[in-house]
A and B are shown apart, each in its own frame.
Chain A
């Protein structure tokens, strides 16, 4: 009996022990499982974070490079590899100087790292052509170790600088172009005041110059306004008949052609519908035909042609004039550029005509062309998109 009881108790104890053990096991495995899940989650998060970082780094448009405090690259995006012409994946692990060949850049990064602040500087790079990079440096600590890493965000601002220079030059040019007539107006007026007024012949001549120079100022300011409008606003388009407009312009310039003994002819298709800013196209045509007449000697000929081509409408203004040297061809569309300043001035030119032509036509989605043979003549052409009805 006692034995039975003992056996029974033992069995119960065993069962309990087994149950406890089993429970222990399940909690253990549960914990392990939970831990594993959590680790997976963290891993995924980290992965996501890395992916996000990479996405930001790849799409930011700037070159992004991370270096350690010794100047060894630990991360570089595609833009950086392209900027420094390094094969894919070849930047990481390399010293920054080997990637950029610029000691200025390396020193700037390492000095900023030492000071521990952020900084930005424009640096000239070695190699072909002038190249200016705007380099922003940020320093931060990685993890808890206090180890520092340096983040470089680099943007190529060469083109920006070039545009700035162009703008500065333009302002300088404008003030120079305005000052010349103003100076001569003032000088003439002063001379008149000092007594030249009493000499009728001199006075007449001076007054004539004053009027001519003020007309010149007016023309320059008008041309500048047209140019500003063409470069800053999309053209206000309307439908009109190009042949009619060309004939209008030719009629207006015929007296001038006659005076200079230049024959003015046109060959136009009857019906050329266009959609464009009529005032601006009027200006373009006037400038081109005016030039053609101006830069052609007496006895010469100016010929205007308009035709419908497969994809575009094309207008050509041909002359048998003085022509343009090849070395001047790329420059004549620049603002205020004139091959022969004296000749242009004498005939009332501002040097803005062709740059108006170029800007207006390009704003309309067309193209300007020029072909010229020195001493034989020039052909200026432009296209406009065809009207699709």
Chain B
């Protein structure tokens, strides 16, 4: 009995570690993709695109780990919520990885062109989004609900940044026809970043559920379940 109990605990702990590992990889993908974009670096972009397999594999591993726990250990209450939360979080992380690949692809396209549109606010927005992701994962490991709140608050800020960047890009595209192509690619990047922020809010929401057993939509705009 003691042995199985220990093994059970170990498996839950391992599940937490796997989720955090995947979170770390998703964050790295986003970081590298934005670097590829701002530095017009094709090699970095390729690295992100290739590394996506790692995230996909982690996604599969975690899901099968969850299923194994569900089938063999029949967890209840808190533990059951942990497993459910992990399965959901992993989906969000996988999407974040996909968006990073999308950004890397834009970076690869733009690296060839020599037009230099305004990139000024993208690093700021990306940094804000990465902070949200980081805090949601921190909330997961530290069981800290105040971090959940911070993530939700930051989402409003990111939404504002998104609107401003979009307006900026529209203005530039209207003023100079040579920047239209680049501008429209960058519009997509802004969109991917905004989605990544939404996925981070999703993760935070799941953590809230895991800790309290209450399932709410913390963000007013809940758009990231695609």
Contacts and interface: CB of A to CB of B under 8 A. Distances in A.
B74 interface: no
Interface stretch (A22-30, A100-108, A362-370): A100-108
A243 to B, nearest CB: 46
B127 A104 contact: no
Interface in B1-45: 13, 16-17, 20-21, 23-25, 27-28, 31
A195 interface: no
A103 B133 CA distance: 15
Chain B at the A interface: mostly helix, strand, loop or mixed? Answer: helix
Contacts of B31: 124, 126
Nearest to A99: B141
B148 to A, nearest CB: 16
B130 A127 contact: yes
Given A95-B17, A126-B24, A101 B130 contact: no
A256 to B, nearest CB: 37
B134 interface: yes
A101 B25 contact: no
A97 B134 contact: no
A128 interface: yes
Contacts of B27: 126
B138 to A, nearest CB: 7
Contacts of B23: 101, 126
A347 B191 CA distance: 46
A330 interface: no
A48 interface: no
Interface string A241-261: 000000000000000000000
B127 A103 contact: no
A375 interface: no
A129 B131 CA distance: 8
Interface residues of B, number: 19
Q: Point out which of B13, B20, B25, B131 has the most chain A C-beta atoms below 10 A from its C-beta.
A: B20
A97 B31 CA distance: 18
A377 B27 CA distance: 47
Sort chain A's interface into a size bin.
Answer: 10 to 19
A97 B28 contact: no
Contact of A126 (B16, B17, B134, B141): B134
B134 A98 contact: no
Contacts, number: 48
A98 B24 contact: no
A98 B23 CA distance: 11
B25 A98 contact: no
Given A104-B28, A124-B31, A126-B27, A97 B127 contact: no
Contacts of A98: 16-17, 20, 141
B127 A101 contact: no
B137 interface: yes
B31 to A, nearest CB: 7
B24 A102 contact: yes
Nearest to B54: A103
A278 B31 CA distance: 50
Nearest to B137: A101
A127 B27 CA distance: 8
Nearest to B58: A103
Contacts of A102: 24
Contacts of B25: 103
The listed residue with most B CB atoms (<10 A of its CB), out of A85, A98, A104, A129, is A98
Interface in B118-171: 127, 130-131, 133-134, 137-138, 141
A102 B31 CA distance: 13
Nearest to A98: B141
A101 B28 contact: no
Given A126-B134, A128-B134, A103 B16 contact: no
Contacts of A101: 20, 23-24, 134, 137-138, 141
A126 B17 CA distance: 16
Contacts of B28: 103-104, 124, 126
Q: What 3 A-B pairs come out closest when comparing CB atoms?
A: A103-B24, A127-B134, A128-B131
13 contacts: A95-B16, A98-B16, A101-B24, A101-B134, A101-B137, A101-B141, A103-B20, A103-B28, A126-B24, A126-B27, A126-B28, A126-B31, A126-B134
